[in-house]
């Protein structure tokens, strides 16, 4: 669709090489679930013979191992507790339990989505091609706008460029700008599935964005390190609330869970609490040891010596084999 629309709007010249066109359409690393690769980003690479360097092979290997670690060690291990909670015939009435479960789901879906993207980007690097970064530490965002600049970047920018801007964006006046944003977010919710839960998920994010535009509260609050930290906490709470609707089996279950979450009782399932805390700490360490390198790949673990990095990623590979969770398909396959 992006190729057709870009050619129609005159922002991209149609390729005259049929094999380049079909290679773009069928490039297997990102074919099933993304990241969304625009024709303008890949056709130029296809026109030049790609030479795979030693750095490309190592960067690709790191990304693939990182992706598998996030998927099979973190996401799949969290999936069991999350699925049990949402599919249990008798819903827990513990506020802390549901905050822990939604936290677990937040990291499950992030590691599942970004893990797949890392694997796809790594496979492309092995072939000599560069895909753009798709996730950029979204849970450190200080506003919902910042969150959408970091979460599933290829999809959020796709909706921006092919839905929001064609509707007029924010250039048609404040009121129309809000309407265009609401339409875009609700459509993005429906893109994930024809269910009211996805519509509410999209509408909630639209509401968050409208409030930010009207009040500028993140900019006003984030004037110090303490204010910035408070902004990040508020954004996490907003995103967590929306995740309830994204994961819930139906509208009624979502509201029942939110009612329990905000009852603030202190009953807690110790096992679930320990698991959620353990995953949170381990993932926090993983995120801390990675940084962004350019706009292409997450930089490796912060160990300067190459052989030390090899040793660390060997341990990561061993974890993928021996600490993997029960096998589960990628969440994105259902959309």
Q: Encode the chain (335 residues) as per-residue pLDDT tens digits.
A: 888 888 898 888 888 888 888 888 877 766 566 688 888 888 888 888 888 888 889 889 989 998 999 999 989 988 888 999 999 888 888 888 899 899 999 999 999 999 998 999 999 899 888 888 889 989 999 999 999 999 999 899 999 999 999 999 888 888 999 999 999 999 999 988 888 999 999 999 999 999 999 999 999 998 899 999 999 999 999 999 999 999 999 999 999 999 999 988 766 555 555 555 555 555 655 555 554 443 344 444 455 667 777 888 888 899 889 888 777 667 666 65
270, part of any domain: yes
179, part of any domain: yes
Neighbours of 172 (CB within 10 A): 12
68, part of any domain: yes
104, part of any domain: yes
16, part of any domain: no
30, part of any domain: no
18, part of any domain: no
Find how far residue 47's CA is from the centre of its chain: 30
Expressed as residue numbers, the domain containing 269 is 53-334
205 assigned to active site: no
301, part of any domain: yes
**pTM of the model as a whole:** 0.86
Q: How many domains does the chain have?
A: 1
**Residue from 137, 178, 192, 290 carrying the catalytic annotation:** 192
DSSP, collapsed to helix, strand or coil, labels residue 298 as strand
Q: Are 107 and 283 in contact (CB under 8 A)?
A: yes
Which among 47, 39, 122 is positioned nearest to 296, based on CA atoms? 122
């Amino acid at each position: 669709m992006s190729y057709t629309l870009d050619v129609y709007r005159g922002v991209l010249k149609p390729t005259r090489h049929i094999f380049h066109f079909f290679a773009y359409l069928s490039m297997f690393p990102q074919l099933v679930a993304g990241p969304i690769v625009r024709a303008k980003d890949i056709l130029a690479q296809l026109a030049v013979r790609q030479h795979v360097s030693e750095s490309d092979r190592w960067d690709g290997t790191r990304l693939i191992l990182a992706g598998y670690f996030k998927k099979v060690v973190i996401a799949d291990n969290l999936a069991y507790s999350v699925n049990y909670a949402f599919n249990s015939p008798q819903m827990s009435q513990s506020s802390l339990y549901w905050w822990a479960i939604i936290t677990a789901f937040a990291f499950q879906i992030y590691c599942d989505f970004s893990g797949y993207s890392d694997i796809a980007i790594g496979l492309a690097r092995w072939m000599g091609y560069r895909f753009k970064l798709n996730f950029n530490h979204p849970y450190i965002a200080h506003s919902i706008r910042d969150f959408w600049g970091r979460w599933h970047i290829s999809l959020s920018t796709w909706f921006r460029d092919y839905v929001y801007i064609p509707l007029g964006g924010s250039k048609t006046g404040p009121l129309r700008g809000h309407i265009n944003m609401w339409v875009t977010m609700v459509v993005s919710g429906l893109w994930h599935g024809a269910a009211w839960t996805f519509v509410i998920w999209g509408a909630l994010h639209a509401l968050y964005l409208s409030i930010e535009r009207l009040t500028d509260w993140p900019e006003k609050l984030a004037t110090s390190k303490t204010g910035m930290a408070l902004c990040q906490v508020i954004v996490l709470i907003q995103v967590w609330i929306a995740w309830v609707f994204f994961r819930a089996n139906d509208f009624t279950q979502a509201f029942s869970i939110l009612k329990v979450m905000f009852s603030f009782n202190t009953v807690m399932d110790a096992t679930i609490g320990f698991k959620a805390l353990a995953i949170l700490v381990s993932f926090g360490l993983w995120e801390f040891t990675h940084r962004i390198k350019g706009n292409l790949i997450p930089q490796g673990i912060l160990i300067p010596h190459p052989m030390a990095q090899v040793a660390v990623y060997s341990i990561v590979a061993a974890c993928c084999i021996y600490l993997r969770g029960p096998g589960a398909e990628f969440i994105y396959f259902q959309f």
